[in-house]
Amino acid sequence: MTVTYAQVREWVLALPGGAEVMVEEWGHPTFRVNNRMFASGAPDSPTMSVKASKEEQAELVASAPETYSVAPYLGRYGWVQVDLSTVDADELYGLVVDAWRRTAPKKLVTEYDG
């Protein structure tokens, strides 16, 4: 079953400080915490990008190249592009939460873990 942008949006907005911020010059929204981006996509797009480590990016692309690729523009920083039609929803949820954890202030991560 295809994961939708709306599902990911729900996950992000349920995280402490998670927000959807429209970037007019890009023409699509981004997902942020403390105004720092950790994921990006668009309601009508078949893909989205998620912040990851360079090591995690390499592992994901090697293990499932039909689902994961190096993200345009931000790939050199470890970001992965995810095909929403082939990704496992639970795996993507984990990636989104991990991306949020990498980006959120420690206080929010502690609050979430509590």
Confidence of residue 27 (pLDDT cuts 50, 70, 90): confident
| Mean pLDDT, all residues of the chain | 95
Q: How far from the centroid of its chain's Cα atoms is residue 33's Cα?
A: 12
* Architecture of the domain whose range is 5-108: Alpha-Beta Complex (3.90)
Cβ proximity of 84 and 2 under 8 Å:
yes
Confidence of residue 24 (pLDDT cuts 50, 70, 90): confident
Q: How is residue 35 written in tokens?
A: 């105004």
Return the bridge partners of 41, or none. 48
Report, as an integer, the average pLDDT of 69-93. Answer: 96
For the chain, the structural domain boundaries read 5-108
Answer yes or no: pTM beyond 0.75: yes
* Closest among 2, 1, 10 to 39, alpha carbons compared: 10
Alpha helix (H) residue ranges in the chain? 5-14, 54-63, 89-103, 106-113
- Return the pLDDT at 46: 95
pLDDT of 1 over the 90 cut: no
Tell the residue number behind the tokens 């992000």, with chain if given: 12
